Amino acid sequence: MPHSPSAPSPVDAGSKVERRRAFLAECRPATRRIHAPIVDLTGARGHLNPRGLGHARAFSDLGSLGQSSVGFDTLADYEAADEAGRAPYGGAEYGVVQSPEAEAVCTKFARLHGGVGAIVCGSGLAAIATVLDAFAPKVILIPDGIYFPAWRYMSEANLAETGRAALLTYPAGASGAEVGALIREAGRTFAPGETMIYLEAPASGTFEIPDIAGIVDEARRAGIRTVMDNTWGSHVRFRPLDHGIGIAIQATTKYEGGYGDTPSGVAVARDEADLARLRRQLRIGGHGAVSPQTCTRLFHRVDSAESRLARHEAAAASLMRWFEGKAVTADILSPARAASPHHARFRQYFGAGNSLFTVVFDEGLPVGRIHAFVDALLLFRVAESWGGHVSLVLPVHPRRDPASLPKGAMFRFNAGLEEADDLIADLDQAARAALP
């Protein structure tokens, strides 16, 4: 039930803001900086960042402020630009397609991923949709741990319903041979050019890792295009194109922007023909309208992604150690843990972790206790998305065969950029209040 502004939630508007303020007064400076000013969720309509931040500044003397019209001195100049899709002074002939700021972001991401070029879209999901529509596969091989909205796009919104794509599902931790068998199954009905292999690793929420090299090998032998959602890794932990994958997709909403204020996504292509198809589809679908302010943030923030990731990783490791010592913890899902069945592949491909892990609570623990624990947390916010400065928590509900899933309730944590000791103190106080 949404709370109406006139009847603020009793938990957050009053007592919880006060409790949060008192808790933060005892925290270290880095934590206080991240949570200042203390946002009252009702007043801010749930936004974690304070209002009115960062009014668009010109990116450079040539930077646009997000204008739809691009002017030409002569009709002939315009007609040539319309034909080529490019203005003589760079960028598109129509401002919604690609601003100079967007172009700068694309150039930067292409370099970061070792690709020939990139597109930037208004969200990570829009980047996924643009890639799917650009190649319009008739069959897509997908992992069962796929980011749910990507699955929904494939299965509901568009491709499957119109009879354009069948989906064949492989386990998120599949071997190359398992995917090879699916490739042969697809091959009975579809040509290689009609087939796409879609990877996402580690899997959303549960973090299994497939045999990426084995899958790419099978795909290459069969002449099938590969696409990878690399949001978990970002270019810092994994560069898909270096591993023979054709298109790398990043929800730059997450680590590249890093502060929850850059809704956007990029797709980087390894070859020119693919890039041309992506650019064409960007225009067809209208997904290229990304605000220059978002692009400007992204352009600069991506430079600190590596150091932020190291800090996120260290905080997540501390939090996981805290959960390891608790009787209520049945398991912790993270390939960065030596105990994880995916740890060998994690070391092979990613080498280091990030902010995410999922706690599986003991089956015997009443769900009400877990909810009380989550509600008692003062630094961790209940919120979707991840990869930002604020620590977050959210239940995980994978939509797949329950037999392949752990039994207890699962909650995904995003370790933010606060001081890890303050986050631990928050877990301690919530546990004292709510856990047996």
Interface residues toward ligand PLP, by CB under 6 A: 123-125, 147, 200, 204, 229, 231, 251, 253-254, 263, 265, 385
CA–CA distance, 126 with 117 (Å, rounded to integer): 17
Q: Which is nearer to ligand PLP, 115 or 263 (CB)?
A: 263
CA–CA distance, 323 with 331 (Å, rounded to integer): 9
**Helix 17-25 vs helix 420-434: crossing angle, to nearest 10:** 130
Reading the block at residue 77, the tokens are 């100049």
Q: How far is the CB of 125 from ligand PLP (least distance, A)?
A: 4
Q: Which is nearer to ligand PLP, 251 or 409 (CB)?
A: 251
Q: How far is the CB of 204 from ligand PLP (least distance, A)?
A: 5
Q: Which is nearer to ligand PLP, 94 or 148 (CB)?
A: 148
Q: Which is nearer to ligand PLP, 124 or 246 (CB)?
A: 124
Q: Which is nearer to ligand PLP, 70 or 121 (CB)?
A: 121
Strand, coil or helix: 249: strand
Residues facing residue 209 across a β-bridge: none
Closest alpha carbon to 392 in 319, 337, 338: 319
Q: How far is the CB of 181 from ligand PLP (least distance, A)?
A: 25
Q: How far is the CB of 131 from ligand PLP (least distance, A)?
A: 11
Closest alpha carbon to 371 in 356, 384, 382: 382
Q: How far is the CB of 251 from ligand PLP (least distance, A)?
A: 3
Q: Which is nearer to ligand PLP, 31 or 252 (CB)?
A: 252
CA–CA distance, 20 with 36 (Å, rounded to integer): 11
Compute CA 423 distance to the chain's CA centroid, rounded to the nearest angstrom: 23
Q: How far is the CB of 80 from ligand PLP (least distance, A)?
A: 35
CA–CA distance, 306 with 235 (Å, rounded to integer): 9
Q: Which is nearer to ligand PLP, 143 or 180 (CB)?
A: 143
395 cis-preceded (ω within 30 degrees of 0): no
Q: Which is nearer to ligand PLP, 278 or 328 (CB)?
A: 278
Q: Which is nearer to ligand PLP, 251 or 394 (CB)?
A: 251
Residue nearest to ligand PLP (CB): 124
Q: Which is nearer to ligand PLP, 365 or 415 (CB)?
A: 415
- The DSSP result for 349-365, as a single string, is HT-S--SEEEEEE-TTS
Q: How far is the CB of 146 from ligand PLP (least distance, A)?
A: 8
Find all residues with CB under 8 Å of 238, minimum gap 6, and list them: 201, 230, 349, 350
Apex CA 287: angle with CA 282 and CA 293, to 5°? 120
Q: How far is the CB of 133 from ligand PLP (least distance, A)?
A: 15
The sheet with strand 392-395 has its strands ordered as 329-333, 356-361, 410-414, 392-395, 381-382
Q: How far is the CB of 52 from ligand PLP (least distance, A)?
A: 22
Q: How far is the CB of 124 from ligand PLP (least distance, A)?
A: 2
CA–CA distance, 149 with 130 (Å, rounded to integer): 14
CA–CA distance, 147 with 68 (Å, rounded to integer): 32
Phi, psi of 149 (to 5 degrees): -60, -30
The sheet with strand 166-170 has its strands ordered as 117-121, 265-269, 247-250, 225-229, 195-200, 139-143, 166-170
